[in-house]
Amino acid sequence: AEVIIVRDPIEAGSVAASIFMQQIIANPATVLGLATGSTPLTTYSALAKEVREHSIDVSRVGGFALDEYLGVPPEHPESYRSVIAREVVEPLGLTPEQVFTPRGTGPDIARAGAEYEAMITDAGGIDIQILGIGSNGHVGFNEPGSSLASITRIKALAEQTRRDNARFFGSLEEVPTHCITQGLGTILRARQLVLLAFGSSKAKAVAAALEGPVSSAVPGSVIQQHPRATVIIDEDAAARLA
Ligand code: F6R
C-alpha cells in the first residue's frame, strides 16, 4: 500500500476527498464503499464541499455501507442506515435510494448477507472503499479471527469494539452484541481501498496491519494483499511503523 502521513484528520480528509473526486469525475456512476465511525467524517465533509463547489453531478453515484448493527431498526438514530443518511447522503446531495446498508432487521435475517452480496454484484462491484480500522485491527466489523475470504455475514462484536462504540449509545448495555458486515473477501474485491487512521490508539493496529504478517488475527492486514490501496494516517497513528 502507498502510505501518506498527514498532520491531522482535516488534511487527511482533503487528501482522501481528492482521491474520491478523481474517481467520481472519471466515472460519474462510481460505486462507493462507505465506512461509518469517526474516522471518515473529515473525508465526507471535504468531499461534500468539493462536490458543491465544483457542481459535480452525483446523480448516478451509488454507495454500499460496510456494516449495520443487528437488531437495530433503520430509523434508530444510531443505525448505520441513519448515520450514513446524516453523514453521506444529505451532505453529498444523494437520494437515500442511491445508498444501501446491510439490513439488520426483518425476516430470514440469516439470508441478509447473501442478499447484500448479490446487490453489490448487481451494481457492478464497489469501485472505491473507504476504511477505518479498529484498535484491535478490525476492518468493517471483521473482528480478529475472521476468514480472509469471508463475505457479508452476521458476526459477534468484540468486547473492545462494544466499549469503543459505547460513546454512540447511552451505555455499554445498549450497544448491540452482533452486526452484519461485509467480509474481508468482499472488501478485497473493491477495486480501490483507502484506509484512514488517526491517533495513538490506532498505532499498534496500523503497524500490525501494514508491517505484520497477513493474518486473520489482524483483519486490517488484508490491505497488504490489495493491488491498489492508499493508507492515510496522522503521525500518532504512524508512531509504531518501522
Ligand atoms: C465502520 C467500521 C469500523 C470502523 C472502526 C474504526 O463502518 O466498519 O471498522 O471503521 O471501528 O472506528 P472509528 O473510526 O470510530 O475509530
- Over its length of 242 residues, how does the chain's per-residue pLDDT go in tens digits? 999 999 999 999 999 999 999 999 999 999 999 999 999 999 999 999 999 999 999 999 999 999 999 999 999 999 999 999 999 999 999 999 999 999 999 999 999 999 999 999 999 999 999 999 999 999 999 999 999 999 999 999 999 999 999 999 999 999 999 999 999 999 999 999 999 999 999 999 999 999 999 999 999 999 999 999 999 999 999 999 99
Ligand 1 in reach of 113 Cβ (< 6 A): no
SS3 33: strand
pLDDT at 123: 98
pLDDT at 162: 96
Query: Predicted ipTM?
Result: 0.98
- Phi, psi dihedral angles at 52 (to 5 degrees): -65, -50
Closest CA to 19 of 229, 235, 222: 229
What are 10-66's pLDDT values in tens digits? Answer: 999 999 999 999 999 999 999 999 999 999 999 999 999 999 999 999 999 999 999
- Phi, psi dihedral angles at 142 (to 5 degrees): -80, 95
The ligand 1 atom at the shortest distance from the C-alpha of residue 181 is: 8
Ligand 1 in reach of 50 Cβ (< 6 A): no
Ligand 1 in reach of 102 Cβ (< 6 A): no
Instruction: For residue 14, report the distance from its CA to the centre of ligand 1, in Å.
Output: 19
Instruction: For residue 209, report the distance from its CA to the centre of ligand 1, in Å.
Output: 15
Which residue type is seen at 8? D
pLDDT at 67: 98
Candidate from 135, 138, 178 with most ligand 1 atoms within 8 A of CB, to mutate: 138
- Grid cell digits, residue 54: 465544483
The ligand 1 atom at the shortest distance from the C-alpha of residue 201 is: 16
Query: Rounded distance, CA 180 to CA 89, Å?
Result: 21
The ligand 1 atom at the shortest distance from the C-alpha of residue 161 is: 11
pLDDT at 206: 98
Query: Rounded distance, CA 102 to CA 110, Å?
Result: 12
pLDDT at 133: 98
Ligand 1 in reach of 129 Cβ (< 6 A): no
Cα dihedral value 142, 147, 152, 157, nearest 10: -30
Hey, which bits of 81-234 come out as E strands?
A: 99-100, 128-131, 153-156, 178-181, 193-197, 229-234
